[in-house]
């Protein structure tokens, strides 16, 4: 339902309370921290398998 229909049906639009916004912010921050840690760990594993192998190859290749 859009805003106009809601207001026409005698609805009231009010902002979220600071407590709700604080709780939402905290939950979002915790989720982002968890997701970024997982992503970092997965990328580290990828780097070990792919990027590091290529880098080591190039180092050996340029030294010979």
**What would the pLDDT profile of 13-54 be if each residue is shown by its tens digit?**
789 999 999 999 999 999 999 999 999 989 988 888 888 889
Q: Give DSSP secondary structure letters for 42-63.
A: HHHHHIIIIIHHHHHHHHHHHH
Q: What is the pTM of this model?
A: 0.53
CB 13 within 8 A of CB 6: yes
Nearest residue to 27 (alpha-carbon basis) of 15, 37, 16, 35: 35
Domain count, the chain: 1
Token code pair at residue 46: 């990828």
Which domain, by its residues, includes 42? Answer: 16-63
**Residue 4 within any structural domain of the chain:** no
Q: CA dihedral defined by 29, 35, 39, 40, rounded to 10 degrees?
A: 40
pLDDT of residue 1: 65
């Amino acid at each position: 339902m859009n805003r106009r229909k809601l207001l026409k049906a005698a609805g009231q639009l009010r902002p979220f309370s600071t407590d709700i916004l604080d709780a939402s912010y905290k939950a979002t921050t915790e989720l982002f921290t968890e997701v970024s840690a997982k992503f970092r760990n997965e990328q580290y594993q990828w780097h070990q398998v792919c990027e590091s192998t290529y880098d080591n190859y190039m180092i050996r290749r340029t030294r010979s």
